[in-house]
Chains A and B, each alone.
Chain A
Amino acid sequence: MSTPQRITLTNSGDVTVVTFNDSKIIDDQSIQELGQELAALVEGDDRDKIVLNFAAVEFLSSAALGKLISFEKKSRSKKVKLILTNIRPEIYEVFAITKLTKLFTIKDDEADALAIL
Chain B
Amino acid sequence: MSAEWDWTAETEIPSKLGAHLPFLEEVLSRMESLGWGGRDLFGVQMTLEETLTNAIRHGNHSDASKLVRAACKVNGERFWLSVEDEGEGFCRDDVADCTADENVGAFGGRGMALIDAYMADVSFNDRGNRITVTTHRGYRPPVDDAD
> Could you tell me which A residues sit within 8 Å of B by CB distance?
26-28, 59, 61-63, 65-66, 69-70, 72-73, 89-90, 93-94, 96-103
Contact = CB atoms under 8 A, between A and B. Distances in A.
Given A61-B50, A63-B53, A90-B39, A97 B114 contact: yes
Contact of A62 (B111, B145, B147): B111
Interface residues of B, number: 26
B98 A73 contact: no
Contacts of B101: 99, 102
B18 A62 contact: no
Contacts of A90: 39, 42
B141 interface: yes
B114 A26 contact: no
A102 B102 CA distance: 11
Contacts of A101: 145
B3 interface: no
27 contacts: A26-B21, A27-B18, A28-B17, A28-B18, A59-B46, A61-B46, A61-B50, A61-B53, A62-B110, A62-B111, A66-B107, A69-B105, A73-B105, A89-B39, A90-B42, A93-B39, A97-B114, A97-B117, A97-B143, A98-B98, A98-B110, A98-B114, A99-B101, A99-B104, A100-B104, A102-B104, A103-B105
Contacts of B45: 59
Given A62-B111, A66-B110, A96 B143 contact: yes
B49 interface: yes
